[in-house]
Chain A
Amino acid sequence: MLQLLRQPWPWYTSGATIAFIMLLLIYFGKSFGVSSNLRTICTIAGAGKKVEFFNFDWKTQKWNLLFLFGAVLGGLIASTLLKSDQPLQISAATITDLQKLGIVFDGNLNPSQIFGWDFITSPKGLIVLLGGGILVGFGARYAGGCTSGHAISGLSNLQVPSLIAVIGFFAGGLVMTYFLLPLIF
């Protein structure tokens, strides 16, 4: 059993589990959306004193912070107890495309060239990771949700605004992938 769980999980298991998690949270009287935690953390850090947007009772969001804490634990379990001993398998076309950008496929989940110590301690690495994070955080709050809140919860409830947001996610993603990544790397 453990041996089976250690192998990479197929997309349909993952998709079904994500739908189940959304259902669980709905049943608990909540909703599935991760990025609102970022606002909550800003509030806990004291942002509500200066900016009205953060002035709310963060304790109403405690459940979501616990969910986030669980997600970190889940990552830890996946990298220890359930760690796969095989390298990541991705499309050969992607490997070739990334090679043209100078990014080598190393078989890990994330390229050491971007997340490794050498890069993150360089000025460029700092700008890429911090800057990328700023775009994600700003965009998620501006759009009122991220992949979980819009693409999963919103689309499941047939919300047109969520569809527009998901189209935006892809528009931005494609511009970054095809136009900006070649300039950055």
Chain B
Amino acid sequence: MKGLKFILAGLLFGVVMAKSEAISWYRIQEMFRFQSFHMYGIIGTAVILGIILVYLIKKFKIRDFHGNPIIFQDKDTSWPRYIIGGSIFGLGWALTGACPGPMFVNIGYGYWSMILVILGSLIGTYLYGLIKNKLPH
């Protein structure tokens, strides 16, 4: 069962996102209204620890469990796709209160109506693929 470890990692992700209420529409509204530290605390802690971990992996040239070197891909340097794509994403995030991870965690939690949001996000992804070459990147 090579796949089991990914299921378990995902399971931990789902539990922690739900138990820390990061899958809550209300919590996302609270964040965008700057009325609570909660979401900033979650993202901030993850990023600060993440920066330290990535730095240590690079510094000590730590290998992955296959024994291969760990390579961090640099993102393409440009402006338009990140700012325009990011803003479009943000509009949807604040409206539905869910980014892609939480959409699925919410399904598990019992919010079946999130299927509509997931269906929408699949349509959106397809539309992007369709007109990708006409968009400024």
Give the CA-CA distance A10 to B19 in the complex, in Å: 9
Chain B residues whose C-beta falls within 8 Å of the C-beta of A31 in the assembled complex: 73
> CB < 8 Å: which of B35, B43, B120, B126 contacts A131?
B120
* Complex contact A133–B14 (CB within 8 A): no
Chain A residues whose C-beta falls within 8 Å of the C-beta of B110 in the assembled complex: 75-76, 79
* Complex contact B122–A41 (CB within 8 A): yes
Chain B residues whose C-beta falls within 8 Å of the C-beta of A15 in the assembled complex: 41-46, 48-49
Contact flags B35-56 to A (C-beta < 8 A → 1, else 0): 1111101111111111101100
**Number of A residues whose C-beta is below 8 Å from B?**
124
Find residues 1-58 in chain A having any chain B CB closer than 8 Å to their own CB: 5, 8-31, 34-35, 37-39, 41-42, 45, 47, 51-54
Q: How large is the interface on B (under 10, 10 to 19, 20 to 34, 35 or more residues)?
A: 35 or more
Find residues 1-48 in chain B having any chain A CB closer than 8 Å to their own CB: 3, 5-33, 35-39, 41-48
Q: Given A66-B10, A133-B96, answer yes or no on A138-B125 (Cβ-Cβ < 8 Å).
A: yes
Give the CA-CA distance A145 to B41 in the complex, in Å: 21
Chain A residues whose C-beta falls within 8 Å of the C-beta of B116 in the assembled complex: 120, 126, 129-130, 133
Chain A residues whose C-beta falls within 8 Å of the C-beta of B106 in the assembled complex: 75, 109-110
7 smallest A-B Cβ distances: which pairs?
Answer: A74-B14, A168-B86, A133-B120, A70-B10, A172-B90, A15-B45, A75-B108
List B residues at the A interface (Cβ < 8 Å): 3, 5-33, 35-39, 41-51, 53-54, 57, 64-66, 68, 70, 72-79, 81-101, 103-111, 113-114, 116-130, 132, 135
Known: A131-B95, A133-B121, A162-B82. 19 other contacts (CB 8 A): A8-B21, A11-B41, A18-B16, A18-B45, A39-B129, A66-B3, A67-B13, A70-B11, A73-B108, A75-B15, A77-B15, A78-B15, A115-B25, A137-B124, A138-B127, A146-B101, A152-B50, A168-B84, A170-B90
